[in-house]
Structure 1
Amino acid sequence: MRRFMFEALLCSGICLLSGAVSASDLIMGEPIIGDERAVSAHLGLADLETTEPQAIIDHGRLLFDAKFTTLDGVGRPSATQAEVPVKRRPGAVPSFFRTAGPEANACNGCHNQPNSGGAGEFVANVFTSEGVSDFEFDTLEAQFSNERGTPHLHGSGLVELLAREMTADLHALRRVAVDDARATGQAVAVDLVSKGVDFGQLTVDPDGFIQIDKIEGIDHDLIVRPFSQKGVFTSLRQFSINAMNAHHGIQSDERWGPQWTDSEDFDEDGFKGEISAGDMTAVVLFQASLPTPVQSLPENPILSGAAKQGEALFEQVLCSQCHIKSLPLKSLSFVEPGPYNAAGNMRVSDLDGKSYAFALSSEGLPQNDKGEWLVPVFSDFKRHVIADSEKSHYGNERLSQRFIANDQFLTPRLWGVGSSAPYGHRGDVTTLKEAILHHGGEARASRVAYESLADMDQRKIVEFLKSLKLTSEAK
């Protein structure tokens, strides 16, 4: 596998390749008077080999912050919001469509609090279908879409690396079980545990049949999908390609290009090459390089002491069973494309075995005695039933996404929660206490334990959660 290593990607931005292109050379290009394109230069895959890492990230930031115009290819008059290329049914539709989209000019139109790549207010909610539909919905009725808030993206490169390592662990366990069943002629059961997270069990029969009924909180292919509130997207790349099409009407070449659609302008808006595979790599690297959320204790000693006590109480009421404080990460090497991308998202097989490797920053990450980096995500990367008949608020969706039960959601990553109000998958919960009290289903016991605490102890847990900040807000 050929790799282009940029070791100091986030620390100094120094490129280890000779003759590298600078940020200004890459992004500025030749000026054109009266040019109203948001992006005047695109990045090819070959450019990734000769461009400074920081310049690639800067180009990704430009694309993330760009207010795309029709001259960039905004809109999809003949294509739908579906993840797979689907033609729109005949009939006039508005250029911007608040429900089914496109409904935004820029990625940071929603991901903007407290800065680019952050979270979004309720007003920035999106309406998601089950993912592969070919219809346009102009109603807020719940049977047509799920309304979702905008999560922050800080630390998302580390999130994807954790998911990749967990997937590799689970696949290795399955592979050993298959080999043992074949060798022994007996059924072999294996516990699916990675990084201390229990995903249930699978059993392999001697004939190779795999019993999957005891797998928990993950798809049956054992791929950990850490993105979206249902946990349905494998990688930042997949998430970003979908979002570019759904929210902006910008189609990536790697999914809507001739290799899949036999067309250079699938959406028939008069523009081809709207976003290249090199551009998409830059967008991914910008998001992957966003800083790690941190704990920032209040300066007031009373509040600081309360937050420290609140952390212990958080453990006491067993919130940490799902919101695991930190998960160990073996490597900070972020390789693009990722190893588990589905078709329509760039894969190593599309590049004749070539890949691009970048080193993420270890700043603020402690190490354990094995030399692994401890990533403070406060999640187990697993889906849980989070609502019941007593507490139904988090089970309010009616449209199933990827065949996942309506009351199941991926455990939210609490790092940065102190900077990303409002709360809940719909962004309709205004306080952390309310968010806790809405927990049902598998979280019922923890909620009841929280409710049994004295009022001041409940407040201390809230003060602890408020201390989990995005870096830009940390003191």
Structure 2
Amino acid sequence: MLSSRVLLAGLTLLLATLPANAEDMPPWSERTIGTPPDPSRFSGTLSLQLLEELVDRGETLFTAKFTTLDGAGRPMATQAIIPTRRKRPSPQIFQRLPGGDANACSSCHIDPVVGGAGDFVTNVFVSEGFNNADFDTTDPQFSNERNTNHLMGAGLVELLAREMTATLQGQRKDALKKARQNIEPVTANLVAKGVDFGVITAYPDGTVDLAGIDGVDTDLVIRPFSQKGVIGSLRQFTVNALNHHHGIQAVERFGSRWTGTDDFDGDEVADEMSPVDVSALVAWQAAREPPVQIVPDNAEWRELASQGETIFGALGCNTCHRPTLPLESLKFSDPGPLDAAGTLRQGETPHGAIYDLALFDWAKSLPRDENGAVLVPLFSDLKRHKIADQQVSALGNELLGQRFVDRDVFKTAELWGIASTGPYGHRGDQTTLDEIIRVHGGSGRDSRNAYIALPEEDKTALIAFLKTLVIKP
């Protein structure tokens, strides 16, 4: 007779191979996407039980290796964000350069846990993104090569961006109101959560001088995802990635509402990814536990890390890599307030939901400030900075702008989890923390120079501190 341990192991293996919503398909099915659940069950403010159910489905989808029966591949569609047809069918499902380039989301987001980062082998090639998508060369004139970012704490990051956007746009609105009332120009500083985004000048006629804006688009929307900071929400990121990497097309962008057909990519599979399954993927990403700062057991490491944290501030690294940003609310609405056309938006569905991240155990351990705001320890300001110059140019090696952002300008990388997610840099070609610090140019040049001038023991202390910023296994 089999032992209970063997039976349990066999059951675990079976469950791991079953498709999402597997009750409607036999265990030997080669499909991985089952029938979508009823979206009305996941509307409104979700209880912990319903939220965990949605998150579980999201994890199953995130780790599923999509097959052609699910709709993997896009023979007549490109990777472009705007639905774009090819002139002739793609000769193969997988193409390492323009994609599809992965079987599962977790194929790349895997280190050190599912939802984590990826090393150099998982790099992807992205064009400008809107419609010029077909290319078969690694020539940087046609694509930018990017390393895989981790998704841990992603819900907190998007919530911070939403609140910062509301603050900045509120400051613009107030400046316009005062200009009309006073019948004279009003200059307003743009500051959100202590981060300076420049100035605007509002005029009584309703026009706004945008020349003084710094580190954010002129619509004042903080877009916290991708190395360039050009993706505004997890929902947008998910819909983009499903099409680009897998040829799995979300109904909300590629379905009949926008394209007039339920099989835009011509693979004979209709309505490949439903809105509720996109919501499940969003919920799973939003619920990822954020990275932490550990207190080392090793006494020497503990002492060095303490010294290194002081040096981190003395070098001015914390000017951009801000240790914490305050977050007022942990309630994550999906669709969100900033989702754009081509992504399901608020008011376009009767099944909008709120995921209260405060329900998760990890949220209870986050520190709070004197006003009760959650202090999110992401080590970033979510602002774009010029990060290369003529003398220190390694991080300015892209030739294509992306969404009108200059090629040497990148969003400040979040350092939480950095000890668990090497290699470093947007291309993943810096193998050590020392190397990535040394290639900071532009806005990071002064801190980089100060680091290089440090005694070796102080450099070691700084690295020891950064090595405490980990993703929990």
TM-score (norm: length of structure 1): 0.92
Of 358-367 and 215-224, more deviation after overlay is shown by 358-367
Native 8 Å contact 2:388 2:396 kept in 1 = yes
Q: CA deviation at 1:178?
A: 0.8
Secondary structure of the 1:143 match is: coil
Q: CA deviation at 1:209?
A: 0.8
Equivalent-residue separation in structure 1 for 2:123 and 2:415 (angstroms): 19
Q: CA deviation at 1:33?
A: 6.0
Q: 2:354 aligns with which of 338, 351, 357?
A: 357
- One-letter amino acid of the counterpart of residue 300, structure 1: N
Native 8 Å contact 2:19 2:32 kept in 1 = no
Match of residue 459 from structure 1: 460
- One-letter amino acid of the counterpart of residue 404, structure 1: V
Are positions 1:325 and 2:326 aligned together?
Answer: no
Secondary structure of the 2:198 match is: strand
Native 8 Å contact 1:229 1:409 kept in 2 = yes
Secondary structure of the 2:167 match is: helix
Secondary structure of the 1:280 match is: helix
Q: 2:86 aligns with which of 88, 92, 107?
A: 88
Equivalent-residue separation in structure 2 for 1:126 and 1:238 (angstroms): 18
Match of residue 8 from structure 2: none
Q: 1:106 aligns with which of 104, 107, 129?
A: 104
Are positions 1:308 and 2:306 aligned together?
Answer: yes
Native 8 Å contact 1:87 1:134 kept in 2 = no
> Root-mean-square deviation (CA), in Å?
1.5
Native 8 Å contact 1:154 1:292 kept in 2 = yes
Extract structure 1 runs of 4+ deviating beyond 4 A: none
Secondary structure of the 1:133 match is: coil
Deviations 1:25-56 (A, max 9, x none): 98231342641011223234223149721110
Give percent identity, aligned residues only: 48
Equivalent-residue separation in structure 2 for 1:160 and 1:81 (angstroms): 24
Secondary structure of the 1:349 match is: coil
Equivalent-residue separation in structure 1 for 2:242 and 2:114 (angstroms): 16
Match of residue 375 from structure 1: 376
Q: CA deviation at 1:438?
A: 0.3
Match of residue 240 from structure 2: 242
Are positions 1:70 and 2:64 aligned together?
Answer: no
Match of residue 7 from structure 2: none
Q: 2:21 aligns with which of 27, 36, 41?
A: 27
Native 8 Å contact 1:217 1:383 kept in 2 = yes
Secondary structure of the 2:57 match is: helix
Match of residue 418 from structure 1: 419
Secondary structure of the 1:90 match is: coil
Native 8 Å contact 1:26 1:55 kept in 2 = no
Native 8 Å contact 1:43 1:276 kept in 2 = no
Native 8 Å contact 2:187 2:199 kept in 1 = yes
Q: CA deviation at 1:136?
A: 1.1
Q: Which runs of 5+ in 2 are unaligned?
A: 1-17
Deviations 1:446-471 (A, max 9, x none): 11111121111011101100110002
Secondary structure of the 1:348 match is: coil
For 1:396-411, list aligned pairs within 5 A. 396-411=397-412
Secondary structure of the 1:190 match is: strand
TM-score (norm: length of structure 2): 0.93
Q: Give the 3 Å change call, closer, same or farther, for CA 25–130 of structure 1 in structure 2.
A: closer
Match of residue 281 from structure 1: 279
Q: Give the 3 Å change call, closer, same or farther, for CA 367–33 of structure 1 in structure 2.
A: closer
Deviations 1:109-142 (A, max 9, x none): 0000011100001000000010112441110000
Deviations 1:399-445 (A, max 9, x none): 11011111000000000001000000000000000000000111111
Equivalent-residue separation in structure 1 for 2:68 and 2:430 (angstroms): 36
Equivalent-residue separation in structure 1 for 2:293 and 2:27 (angstroms): 47
Q: CA deviation at 1:374?
A: 0.3
- One-letter amino acid of the counterpart of residue 412, structure 2: T
Equivalent-residue separation in structure 2 for 1:397 and 1:342 (angstroms): 26
Of 326-335 and 87-96, more deviation after overlay is shown by 87-96
Q: Give the 3 Å change call, closer, same or farther, for CA 135–163 of structure 1 in structure 2.
A: closer
- One-letter amino acid of the counterpart of residue 349, structure 1: G
Secondary structure of the 1:192 match is: strand
Match of residue 4 from structure 1: none
- One-letter amino acid of the counterpart of residue 242, structure 2: M
Q: Give the 3 Å change call, closer, same or farther, for CA 33–381 of structure 1 in structure 2.
A: closer
Match of residue 431 from structure 1: 432
Q: Give the 3 Å change call, closer, same or farther, for CA 160–38 of structure 1 in structure 2.
A: same
Secondary structure of the 2:24 match is: coil
Q: Give the 3 Å change call, closer, same or farther, for CA 65–276 of structure 1 in structure 2.
A: same
Equivalent-residue separation in structure 1 for 2:20 and 2:134 (angstroms): 38
Equivalent-residue separation in structure 2 for 1:26 and 1:293 (angstroms): 27
Secondary structure of the 1:70 match is: coil
For 1:141-160, list aligned pairs within 5 A. 141-160=139-158
Secondary structure of the 2:111 match is: coil
- One-letter amino acid of the counterpart of residue 420, structure 1: T
Native 8 Å contact 1:230 1:383 kept in 2 = yes
Match of residue 446 from structure 1: 447
Equivalent-residue separation in structure 1 for 2:453 and 2:437 (angstroms): 13
Equivalent-residue separation in structure 1 for 2:256 and 2:108 (angstroms): 31
Equivalent-residue separation in structure 1 for 2:316 and 2:181 (angstroms): 41
Q: Give the 3 Å change call, closer, same or farther, for CA 392–290 of structure 1 in structure 2.
A: same
Q: 2:163 aligns with which of 162, 165, 187?
A: 165
Equivalent-residue separation in structure 1 for 2:58 and 2:76 (angstroms): 27
Q: Give the 3 Å change call, closer, same or farther, for CA 39–221 of structure 1 in structure 2.
A: same
Q: Give the 3 Å change call, closer, same or farther, for CA 425–135 of structure 1 in structure 2.
A: closer
Equivalent-residue separation in structure 2 for 1:119 and 1:368 (angstroms): 30
Equivalent-residue separation in structure 1 for 2:38 and 2:206 (angstroms): 43
Match of residue 206 from structure 1: 204
Q: Which runs of 5+ in 1 are unaligned?
A: 1-23
- One-letter amino acid of the counterpart of residue 358, structure 1: Y
Equivalent-residue separation in structure 2 for 1:434 and 1:333 (angstroms): 38
Equivalent-residue separation in structure 2 for 1:90 and 1:183 (angstroms): 58
Match of residue 41 from structure 1: 35
Q: CA deviation at 1:273?
A: 1.7
Q: Give the 3 Å change call, closer, same or farther, for CA 134–44 of structure 1 in structure 2.
A: farther
Native 8 Å contact 1:257 1:266 kept in 2 = yes
Native 8 Å contact 2:20 2:60 kept in 1 = no
Match of residue 389 from structure 1: 390
Secondary structure of the 1:423 match is: coil
- One-letter amino acid of the counterpart of residue 376, structure 2: V
